[in-house]
Amino acid sequence: MTNKADCLFCNVIEDHDMEISLENETCYFLRKESEQDVLVGSGLIIPKKHKENVFELSKEEWEDTWNLLQRARELLDETFSPDGYSIGWNTGKAGGQSVFHSHLHVIPRFYDEPFAGKGIRHWIKKQENKRDLNT
C-alpha cells in the first residue's frame, strides 16, 4: 500500500521529529517528539525492513521486537515511572492502521490521566460500535 520511498518509518533517520531511543539487529524503538505532550514517553517498535503489517514479520523480527520491548520497558520505567502500559498493534485500515509499515505502540500509562484504567479495547467494545448484521 505504501511506497517504501514515501514510507514515514522507512525514513526515520531523516525525520527530525523522530528519535531512535533503542535498536537491535532488525528493529528500532523510536519516539515522536510531537506526541510527547499528551502521550508522555510513548514510542513505537518498528522493523527496519519495510513490512506492511504485523503478519509479515519474520520469526527473527518477532523475537527482536520482544527483546526491544523488554529494553524499552526498562528505559521507560527508569525515565518516567509509569503506573502501567498500553501496548498494541493496529493492522489494516479498519483496524486503525494509518501508516502501513508495521509498528507496535508502547504507551506508558499513569494514574493521573483522564483516561486512566481505559485499555486499548475500551472504545471498540462500546455498544455504539456494534455491527448491524441485517444490512
Which of 50, 103, 105, 122 is catalytic? The answer is 103
For 86, residues 6+ apart whose C-beta sits below 8 A from its C-beta are 105, 107, 109, 119, 120
Q: What is the DSSP string of the chain?
A: ---GGG-GGGGTTT-TTEEEEEE-SSEEEEEEGGGTTTSTT-EEEEESS--SSGGG--HHHHHHHHHHHHHHHHHHHHHH--SEEEEEE--STTTT--SSS--EEEEEE-TTSTTTT--TTTTTTSGGG---TT-
Verify whether residue 50 is a known catalytic residue. no
Q: Among all residues, which ones are annotated catalytic?
A: 103
